[in-house]
Amino acid sequence: MRILILSFLMMMAGMTYAQKTPLLDRDLFFGNPEITGGQLSPDGKWISFMKAHKGIMNVWVKNLMKLSTKQNH
C-alpha cells in the first residue's frame, strides 16, 4: 500500500511541473513550402529545386561549387 501511495504522490508531483507544449501554427505546418522538389545531379555539382518567384513556381538550378543561383524558365 505504501508503494501505491508513494507512486501516486510522485506522479502528482511530476504533473505540477509539466508545461504545456505550444501548438504549431496551422498555416506554417500545412502551408505551401518555400522550396520543394530538391534533386542533386548525378555528379553532385548541381542541385535543382522549385521555388516561387513573383507568385509563380519556377525551377531553380544552383551550382554547388560556385554557390551561384540561376532561374530556369
Range of the domain at 42: 29-73
Tell me, yes or no, whether 66 lies in a domain.
yes
Verdict on whether the full-model pTM lies above 0.75? no
Tell me, yes or no, whether 19 lies in a domain.
no
Total count of domains within the chain:
1
**29-47: pLDDT as tens digits:** 787 778 889 999 999 999 9
The CA-to-CA distance between both ends of the chain, in Å, stands at 74
As a whole-number percent, the residues of the chain with pLDDT over 90 amount to 23
Q: Any alpha helices (H) in the chain, and if so which ranges?
A: 2-16, 26-30
Please list, residue by residue across 47-62, b when 16 or more beta carbons sit within 10 angstroms of its beta carbon and e when fewer do: eebebeeeeeeeebeb
* Residue 72, C-beta contacts closer than 8 angstroms, at least 6 positions apart: 58, 59, 60, 61
Tell me, yes or no, whether 14 lies in a domain.
no
Tell me, yes or no, whether 8 lies in a domain.
no
Beta bridge partners of 1: none
